[in-house]
Structure formats: structure tokens, C-alpha cells
């Protein structure tokens, strides 16, 4: 064995390599290193994406045992589905509420914690801690707290306010799911904003202050432009994340009351895995993909207007 490799090495030393040049060997190593990820992307991303489009053209009900090509019938069904109006409204309200509240609160917290105060690390830890509590555990606790006689109304009662039955009213249920989700995850965006804020040179603020700019002007003219790449990044992550919320709704409200919290992903799950309409479920998946893709592209397009600098 060693004899053989010695001889190979000798040969390599005495003769110029014809085929295995350095760029070629590099290329081989490159292909080897990316192969697991590439195979996974083809097998678990691209293939299912193709299949979901194919399935959406089939009438496929597992319970009824049907699987036949029906062309655009599922899409016609989608357009005529009396639930779709409510589902899309809930999805839009949920996403808008979540994104606005999340980004506003994350930025506020980050600015508060960026002040020269003692104990900001401590508060940062507290605001971040829900990120670490497992999602369903967090949701279960809130489900308990939001009951008619739960902790939230107990606290409100102590302040002399009569709280509603949060999860049973259409408006309050949607609001509850949004707030539970925002409090759970706002810590992540807060940390990203904090990192961005700490990258803004202090001299800029001092110079602006000398020029007589007030706190609000400094925020709008210095802070926002300089952290705009982070605002773009967090808004993309949060928008796409808001469309994927499932566990919170499944645990807190099961889409109710009525269909007030049935967002698209939850509706997709119901159709595909509870009612076993896999073809229609696939059609809803295509719709979800189109919405996510459109929103991502839109935000990416808007980056020229929003984002002050890109490195």
C-alpha cells in the first residue's frame, strides 16, 4: 500500500500531471462538498415543488379513493370556494398585524436597550427569553392565561377592568394569536436591530445634535437610513414567517371562532390532512407559494427605495 502510494507520488513528481490539474481537482472537491445539499435540494425542494403543481391538477381524495386528471378544476374550485374570502382576509389581517406590531416593538425595544443605562443586558435577556421557550409550551400557557377566568383577565380585574373571553370573540381571537406570536418571537428581531444600532457611528448623532436636530429628526435622518438593510432583512423574515404560523393557531383557536383565525396554512392543513382532499390541498399550496414568492420579490424590488446602503 505505502509502496504503491510512494510510486504514485514519485510519478507525480517526475511527470507533469495531464488530467488532474489543480483547477480540476478543486472542481471535483467542490462538487463533492456541495453534493449532499444539492441532492437534498433536488429531492426535498424541487421535486416536491414540481409534484405539488402536478397534484394540483388532479382530483385526489384519499377517503374516496379517487386520483384522476381534472386540469384546472381545482383552481376553479379555489376561485369559487366560499371560504377563501374569509381565509385570505384572516391571513392578510394576521400578517399585517404581526409584521407591523413585531417590527415596531422590536425597534422600540432595541432603541430602549441601546441607551446608556445599567442593566440593559439583563432586560435584553428577559425580552429574548420567550424565543427559547418551546413554541407549543408557550402557546399552551397563553391558552390558559387567555381563558375567560384566566390570568390575563385576573390581572385586568385587579385593575378594575372586565376582560372579554379572548379566544371566543372573532376580533379578540385574531388579536390574541398575533400578540402571543409577537411576544414569543420579537426578541429575535430586537437582537438584530440592536446589532445594527450599535453599528451606527455615535459621532453622527453628536454632529447632528450640534446642528440643532431633535431626537425625532436624528432618528428619521440618521438611524433609519443606516439600519435600513436590517429593516429590510427583518421585514422579509417576518412577513414570510407570518404566513407560516401554524402551531399557535392549531393549539390556541383551531381556526375559530367561525373561521376568524383560519389562515391559509391552517386551511391547507385542514383540507389536505383532515378532510384528505390532497389535490385541493396541493392547489392551496401553490397559492401559498405564489403569495410568498410575490411578497419576497416585491420587498426585494423595493430595497432600492428603502435601503440606504448595501455593502
Partner 1 sequence: MSRRVKLALYALLCVLCVPFVFPTWWMVTSSVKPISDIFAFPPALVPSRFDFSTYSRVFELQPFGQQYLNSLYIAAVVTVGTMAVAAMAGYAFARIRFPGQNVLFLVVLVGLLIPSEVTIVPLFQMFHAAGMTDTHWPLILVPILGAPSVLATFIMRQFFITLPDELEEAARVDGLGRFGTFYRVVLPLARPALGAVAIFTFLHSWNLYLEPIVFLSTPSKFTLPQALTQFVDAYGSPLWNVQLSAATMTALPILVVFVLAQRQFIEGLAHTGLKG
Member of 243, 255, 261, 270 binding partner 1 (CB under 8 A): 243
By CB under 8 A, the count of residues binding partner 1 is 96
Between 76 and 195, CB nearer to partner 1: 195
Between 86 and 128, CB nearer to partner 1: 128
Member of 179, 227, 231, 239 binding partner 1 (CB under 8 A): 179
Spatial separation of the C-alpha atoms in residues 197 and 226, rounded to whole Å: 8
Instruction: Establish if 310 lies at the interface with partner 1 (CB under 8 A).
Output: yes
Q: Which three cell numbers stand for residue 92?
A: 392578510
Instruction: Establish if 278 lies at the interface with partner 1 (CB under 8 A).
Output: yes
Instruction: Establish if 117 lies at the interface with partner 1 (CB under 8 A).
Output: yes
Q: Single out the segment in contact with partner 1 by CB under 8 A; choices: 10-18, 92-100, 215-223, 281-289.
A: 281-289
- Min dist. Cβ of residue 192 to partner 1 (A): 6
Look at the alpha carbons of 23, 24, 25, 28 in this order and tell me if their dihedral is positive or negative.
Answer: positive
- Min dist. Cβ of residue 274 to partner 1 (A): 11
Place of cell 394540483: 56
Distance of CA 151 to the CA centre of its chain: 29
Between 87 and 194, CB nearer to partner 1: 194
Look at the alpha carbons of 292, 294, 300, 303 in this order and tell me if their dihedral is positive or negative.
Answer: negative
- Min dist. Cβ of residue 92 to partner 1 (A): 16
Verify cis geometry, omega within 30 degrees of 0, for the bond prior to 257.
yes
Residue 104 parent element (H or E): helix 84-113
Residues between 185 and 214 with contacts to partner 1, criterion CB under 8 A: 187-188, 191-192, 194-195
Member of 96, 100, 126, 207 binding partner 1 (CB under 8 A): 126
Q: Answer whether 272's CB lies under 8 Å from 282's CB.
A: yes
Between 50 and 71, CB nearer to partner 1: 50
Q: Answer whether 65's CB lies under 8 Å from 291's CB.
A: no
172-267-233 Cα angle (round to 5): 75
Q: Answer whether 226's CB lies under 8 Å from 205's CB.
A: no
Residues between 12 and 31 with contacts to partner 1, criterion CB under 8 A: 23, 25-27, 29-31
Instruction: Establish if 254 lies at the interface with partner 1 (CB under 8 A).
Output: no
Between 172 and 285, CB nearer to partner 1: 285
Instruction: Establish if 263 lies at the interface with partner 1 (CB under 8 A).
Output: no
Instruction: Establish if 285 lies at the interface with partner 1 (CB under 8 A).
Output: yes
φ, ψ for residue 187, nearest 5 deg: -55, -35
Q: Is 263 exposed, middle or buried (0-12, 13-18, 19+ CB in 10 A)?
A: buried
- Min dist. Cβ of residue 308 to partner 1 (A): 13
Q: Answer whether 92's CB lies under 8 Å from 107's CB.
A: no
Member of 21, 125, 209, 217 binding partner 1 (CB under 8 A): 125
The contact pattern for partner 1, residues 35-74, with x = CB under 8 A and - = no contact, is: -xxxxxxxxxxxxxx-xx--x-------------------
Euclidean distance between the first and final Cα of the chain, in Å? 52
Count H helices and E strands in the chain, helices first.
15, 2
Amino acid at each position: 500500500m505505502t509502496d504503491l502510494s510512494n510510486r504514485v507520488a514519485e510519478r507525480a513528481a517526475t511527470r507533469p500531471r495531464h488530467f488532474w490539474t489543480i483547477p480540476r481537482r478543486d472542481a471535483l472537491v467542490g462538487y463533492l462538498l456541495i453534493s449532499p445539499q444539492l441532492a437534498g435540494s433536488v429531492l426535498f425542494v424541487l421535486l416536491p415543488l414540481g409534484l405539488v403543481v402536478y397534484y394540483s391538477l388532479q382530483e385526489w381524495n384519499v377517503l374516496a379513493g379517487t386520483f384522476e386528471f381534472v386540469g384546472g378544476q381545482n383552481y376553479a374550485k379555489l376561485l369559487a370556494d366560499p371560504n377563501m374570502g374569509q381565509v385570505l382576509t384572516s391571513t392578510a389581517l394576521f400578517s399585517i398585524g404581526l409584521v407591523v406590531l413585531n417590527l415596531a416593538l422590536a425597534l422600540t425595544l432595541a432603541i430602549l436597550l441601546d441607551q446608556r443605562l445599567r442593566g440593559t443586558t439583563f432586560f435584553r435577556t428577559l425580552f429574548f427569553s420567550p424565543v427559547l421557550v418551546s413554541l407549543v409550551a408557550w402557546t399552551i400557557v397563553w391558552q390558559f392565561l387567555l381563558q375567560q377566568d384566566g390570568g390575563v383577565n385576573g390581572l385586568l380585574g385587579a385593575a378594575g377592568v372586565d376582560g372579554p373571553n379572548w379566544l371566543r370573540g372573532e376580533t379578540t381571537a385574531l388579536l390574541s394569536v398575533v400578540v402571543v406570536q409577537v411576544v414569543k418571537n420579537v426578541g429575535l428581531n430586537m437582537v438584530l436591530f440592536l446589532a445594527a444600532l450599535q453599528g451606527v457611528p455615535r459621532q453622527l448623532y453628536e454632529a447632528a445634535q450640534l446642528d440643532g436636530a431633535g431626537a425625532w429628526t436624528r432618528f428619521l435622518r440618521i438611524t433609519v437610513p443606516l439600519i435600513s438593510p436590517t429593516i429590510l432583512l427583518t421585514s422579509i423574515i417576518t412577513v414570510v414567517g407570518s404566513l407560516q404560523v401554524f402551531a399557535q393557531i392549531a393549539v390556541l383557536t383551531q381556526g375559530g371562532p367561525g373561521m376568524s383565525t383560519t389562515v391559509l396554512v391552517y386551511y391547507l392543513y385542514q383540507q389536505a390532512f383532515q378532510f384528505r382532499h390532497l389535490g385541493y390541498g396541493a392547489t392551496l399550496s401553490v397559492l401559498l407559494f405564489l403569495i410568498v414568492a410575490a411578497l419576497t420579490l416585491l420587498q426585494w424590488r423595493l430595497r432600492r427605495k428603502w435601503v440606504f446602503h448595501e455593502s
